[in-house]
Every structure is written in structure tokens, then in C-alpha cells.
Amino acid sequence: MIRKLYDWMFGLAQSRNASKALAGISFAESSFFPIPPDVLLIPMVLAARHKWIKYAFICTVASILGAFAGYAIGALGYEYLGKPILAFYGKEDMFEKLSTWYNTWGGWGVLFAAITPFPYKVLTIFSGATGLNFVLFTIVSIIGRGARFFLVAWLLHKFGEPIQTFIEKRLNLLFVVGMVLLIGGFVAIRYIG
């Protein structure tokens, strides 16, 4: 089953709709969707390594636009939209306690979430809800998301064939590790803090 999913993703990565799908996933992941765009970025770069800059750029721009949507959810619809999403991650009760601290140090949090596998959407919504300076939010989002996606795409471009062989030989193990990291991130969000 995992192999079929991998083959399907690799096939999608080579289709004419791949760039649109990458943009859609990148946008959604920054505001509400739990699956990171790397699941499509990686096979797209491996399928066409010479397009790594294009794919990293699409991923970065769409992710930042999605971050703006997450910020808007927090700023304009916190009570109706943002609060239930934060409740899903178990963070709604900490809103007041963290707001003041976050508006002082939140730029670092956004940068951390933009670069790492930490669910970025949590901090995009929280940034809007607490009124984090939008210019600061935009700058750290551009730096963080750009660094993450361009680094991943460049590494795949530079070392593509060995990485592809490594992935294909250890597909089941990598899937399990990826799921553990993804679920672990959500568990950490829910119970830490």
C-alpha cells in the first residue's frame, strides 16, 4: 500500500497539474491542513531535478499566502474559526497567558515553526489572534519558509539519485518514521505548555 501511494505521488509529481497541487497543499498546510507540502515537493524535485528552484519558489510563495490566511483566521475569526482550530490542538486555554509573552517573542516562534516540522498553522492562527506585528510575521515567514523549502529542494537537486534510491529501498521504514514524527508533533503541541 505504501509503495502504491509513493508511486501515485511520484506520478502526480510528473503530471501537468503537479505545480497547482503543490501550491494548493502548501497554502492549505500553513492555515489548516495537517499534511506538509514536502510529501509532494520531494517527488516533484526527484522527478525533475532541474526544476528545483521553481518548485521551492511555488512552495514558499503559496505557503506564505497560506500563512496570511492563517493570520486572518486568527485576527478576524478567532472566536468562530481560530478558537476551534486551536482547541483541536489543545491550546485555547493558554491564549490569554501567552498573548503578552508571544507579542514580545513570537517572531522567534514563527521562525521556528516555519523551518521545522512543527505545525506552522498553529502559530499563524495564534499570531493573528494575538495581533503579532504583521510586518514581523511576514518577514520571519519569508525567511523561515524560504529557508526550509529551498534547502530541501536544493539537497534533492544536488543528491537526487542517491536520495531517491535510499527512499525507495527504505520506503516502509521512512513512512513509519515520518508518521511517528508527524503524530509526535501533534501530541507535543497538545500536551506541552
CA–CA dist 34, 42 (Å, integer): 17
Enter the C-alpha cell of residue 164. Answer: 531517491
Asked if 119 and 185 touch (Cβ cutoff 8 Å), the reply is yes
CA–CA dist 109, 60 (Å, integer): 18
Radius of gyration from C-alpha coordinates of the chain: 17
- The domain spans of the chain are 2-191
CA–CA dist 53, 75 (Å, integer): 32
pLDDT digits (tens, 9 = 90+) for 22-53: 999 899 988 887 777 887 888 888 888 899 99
* pTM: predicted TM-score of the whole model, two decimal places: 0.72
Residues in the chain with pLDDT < 70? 1-10, 81-82, 86, 91-98, 116-118, 164-193
Residue 7, SS3?
Answer: helix
